[in-house]
Structures are given as structure tokens and as C-alpha cells.
Amino acid sequence: MRLSILTGCLLIYQVLLSQTGSTDTSFKKNSVFVEVFGHNRGLFSVNYERLFRLTGDFIFYSARTGVGYTPGMDIKDKHLGGSIYLPIVFSVLAGNKAHYAQLGASYTVAFGHDFIDSTTYPPTVYQKFESAYIISLGYRYMRRGFMAQLFPLLQWTNNPSSKFTVGFGLSIGSVF
């Protein structure tokens, strides 16, 4: 009888402790968002991100991927088709409550068309396959299922007409 009462009390205590002492139930691990420019290098992209909490409530890690697109354009009498971009991004977020500093590193591949725009000087080269390494340092806001981020970035590509470029990214989405 005493063993049953003791076991019951320990079970109730464990249930109560797990309800109030754990913050894992409020930690949202998934994010889906639209990004303008940014790591995708295109005009826009749709991304999925997975967040990992490895050390307390202050530092998070994330891995994400997505699909970006830039529509084609007419240059002189020729049409340059659209390009598809596939970013793979790893980030570290440090912050508290809803505000985070974010450091990101990515590798992005672009699938487009071989084309040289001779209307510019020096001529702009568009490659059928182009890869880029990108780093960014910015700000992220996450609260009540909403996520927004803004960051400047530096990218290095294998394109001879633009090896190093500076840009920015803006993302808005949902955290669940």
C-alpha cells in the first residue's frame, strides 16, 4: 500500500514537473518563409528551415534549403530565360525572446542559360551552371509564429564577370 502511494505521488510530481519545468513544448522547430534576394541569389525563393537548440535558450542552429527563381528578360533582340536557384544555408542564431543576431553561411547553385550581354561594359556573363558561397550577418525576429529577417551579405561566385558582390536579403514567414 505504501509503495502504491509513493509511486502515485512520484508519478504526479513527475507529470507536474514536466508540465511547468520544460520549455521544449514552446520551442518552434520549423520555419517556412519567402525570401527576397538573399542567399538564394534570385529575385525570390520559398524556403524550409529546421531550428535546433543545443545550448539552453540563447543559441540556436539552423539548416535550411529552398527553391529560388528569377524570371527571364529581353536583352536587345534576344531573350534570356529564367534561372532556378537552390540554396543550402547553415546559421547560428544568438539572442533572447524574440530578437536574434544571425550568422549564416551557404552554398547556392544556379541553373540558367549561357549568355553574354554585350550591351554592358564590361560584358555581363550568364552561365548555365553557376555556384556561389555566401556569408551573412543580420537580424531575425521570431515571435508568436511570425518570423522576419534582414541581413547584408557577401557572395563569391565562379562567374568571371562578378566574382565578389555585396547584397542583402529580406525574409518573412511562419515559425511552427
**Looking at residue 112, what is its pLDDT?**
92
**Looking at residue 3, what is its pLDDT?**
52
Residue 91 Cα to chain centre, angstroms: 8
Q: What pTM value is reported for the model?
A: 0.78
**Looking at residue 1, what is its pLDDT?**
54
Are the C-beta atoms of residues 89 and 63 closer than 8 Å to each other? Answer: yes
Are the C-beta atoms of residues 67 and 85 closer than 8 Å to each other? Answer: yes
Cα–Cα distance, 140 to 170 (Å, whole number): 10
- Note the pLDDT tens digit of each residue in 40-57: 888 999 999 999 987 777
Tell me which residue has cell 514552446. Answer: 26
The mean of the pLDDT values for the chain is 86
Looking at CATH, the fold of the domain delimited by 30-175 is given as Porin (2.40.160)
**Looking at residue 120, what is its pLDDT?**
84
| pLDDT per residue of the chain (176 residues) written in tens, 0 to 9 | 555 555 554 444 444 344 334 445 567 899 999 999 999 888 999 999 999 987 777 899 999 999 999 998 888 788 888 999 999 999 999 998 899 999 999 999 999 988 888 888 888 888 899 999 999 999 999 999 999 999 999 999 998 888 999 999 999 999 99
Q: Indicate the DSSP class of residue 123.
A: P
Tell me which residue has cell 511562419. Answer: 174
